[in-house]
DNA sequence: ATCGGTGCAAACAATTTGCATTAGA
DNA sequence: TCTAATGCAAATTGTTTGCACCGAT
C-alpha cells in the first residue's frame, strides 16, 4: 500500500472529478506537515496564515472530501471534537497520555491480530479497527514516580 | 472485580458523600436495564416517562458523576455524540456494523494483549484500552453476499 | 462559459453553566 | 437546617448548510 503522505492530491482530486483549489492544497499540506493530529480549528488557523479570509466551513468540507478519498482520517481520542491526520496504514494505533496530553502513534501487529481473531468464526467483517489507549506516557510516568 | 451492574448505587453515592436522588437512581436503572448503549437524549426520554419534567442537564450531570465513580462509561463509536453504558470489565470491545448500525459487545483477551504488548519495553502505562471495530456484522454480511 | 467551490452567516446539535428553588441528609 | 442537586434557560462549542458570488477547468 502506498502511504497516503506520498500521494499527489492534485492528481487524485482531478482523477475523481474534483477541482484542485489552493484551499484544498493548503489543508492537505498543513495536514502532512503536522507531526501530530490537528483539530479542524487548528487547521483553519494555520491555513489562515496564508489565505487571510479562509473559512472554517471549507476546512470541514475539504476534510470530509479527503477522507472520502482515503487520504485523511478523523480520529476520535475520547474528546468531543475530532482530530484529523493523514491516513495511515491500518496497523496503527494511538497512545494518549492523560498527564501531558501527548498523542503517540504506535505500530504493531495488534490491529492485524484483532482482524484475525474476528475472522475466526463469528462472521464479523472488520473494515476499520480503531484502537486508542489512554494512560501515562513514559516521560510522565518517570516524573510521577519521583514525586 | 465486581461487575458494576451488581453495585448498589445508593451505598456508593452516600459513601462518597453524594446524595441519592430519584433522578440519579432512575438514570442508573435505565442504564442497567438497557441491553445496548444509550445516548444522553435516550436516557432522558426514558426517565422522563417516570419523572415528567426531568431535565437533560441532570442526565449529563448524573452520567458524569457515575463515570467518576467508575459505574458508567462513555463510549465513542465514531459518531459526534457519545453513548453511555454500565462500566464493563475492561477486556471488552465494540463491533459496530456499518450496514444496520448494530453495536455488539465482544470479549476477548485482545485488550489484555495490548496491555502486555505495551508493558514490554517502551514505558507507556496503559490504563484504558478502547477498541472499536467498524465493519459488517454477520447478519448483514450474509444478506449482502446474496445480492 | 460552466458548474463546482468558496465565503459568509445563520442554523444545528450536543453538552455545559449560572442561578434561584427544592429537597436529601 | 443546611448544603447539595435540580429545573430552567441561556450560553458554548463543534460542525453543517443555504445561497450568492467567484474561479478552476
| A95/B114 Cβ within 8 A | no
Q: Is B130 on the interface with A (CB under 8 A)?
A: yes
Task: Calculate the CA dihedral of residues B79, A36, A92, B67 and round it to 10 degrees.
Answer: -50
Query: How many Å apart are CA A11 and CA B15, to the nearest integer?
Result: 63
- Residue indicated by cell numbers 458523600: B17
| Domains of chain A by start residue, with CATH | 6-86 (1.10.10.10), 92-146 (3.30.1490.190)
DSSP element (H, E) containing A145: helix A138-146
- Residues of chain B in contact with residue A145, where contact means CB-CB under 8 angstroms, are none
Per-residue pLDDT band for B4 (boundaries 50, 70, 90) equals low
Q: Give yes or no for CB of A48 within 7 Å of strand C.
A: no
What is the reported pLDDT for B35?
Answer: 76
How near does any CA of chain A get to the CA of B124, in Å? 5
B67-106 pLDDT, tens digit per residue, is 999 999 999 998 888 999 999 876 788 999 998 888 998 8
Query: How many Å apart are CA B125 and CA A137, to the nearest integer?
Result: 6
Q: Beta-carbon neighbour count of residue B74 at 10 Å?
A: 15
- Residue indicated by cell numbers 497512545: A95
Residues 43-62 of B with CB under 8 A from A: none
| B133/A110 Cβ within 8 A | no
Stretch A10-35: mean pLDDT, rounded? 94
What is the reported pLDDT for A147?
Answer: 60
- Residue indicated by cell numbers 513514559: A138
Query: How many Å apart are CA B40 and CA A55, to the nearest integer?
Result: 32
The partner residue sitting opposite B124, judged by closest CB among A126, A131, A135, is A135
Percentage with pLDDT > 90 across chain A: 54
Q: Which is nearest to A128 in space by CA: A85, A80, A73, A82?
A: A73
| A130/B134 Cβ within 8 A | yes
CB pairs under 8 A between A and B: 100
Lowest mean pLDDT among A82-91, B5-14, B77-86: B5-14
Amino acid at each position: 500500500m502506498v502511504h497516503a503522505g506520498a500521494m499527489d492530491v492534485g492528481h487524485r482530486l482531478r482523477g475523481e472529478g474534483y477541482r484542485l483549489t489552493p484551499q484544498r492544497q493548503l489543508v492537505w499540506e498543513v495536514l502532512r506537515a503536522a507531526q501530530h493530529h490537528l483539530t479542524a480549528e487548528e487547521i483553519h488557523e494555520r491555513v489562515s496564515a496564508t489565505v487571510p479570509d479562509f473559512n472554517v466551513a471549507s476546512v470541514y468540507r475539504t476534510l470530509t472530501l479527503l477522507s472520502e478519498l482515503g487520504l485523511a482520517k478523523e480520529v476520535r481520542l475520547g474528546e468531543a471534537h475530532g482530530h484529523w491526520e493523514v491516513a495511515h496504514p491500518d496497523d496503527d494505533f494511538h497512545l494518549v497520555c492523560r498527564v501531558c496530553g501527548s498523542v503517540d502513534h504506535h505500530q504493531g501487529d495488534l490491529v492485524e491480530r484483532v482482524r484475525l481473531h474476528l475472522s475466526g468464526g463469528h462472521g464479523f467483517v472488520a473494515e476499520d479497527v480503531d484502537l486508542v489507549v489512554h494512560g501515562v506516557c513514559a516521560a510522565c510516568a518517570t516524573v510521577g514516580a519521583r514525586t
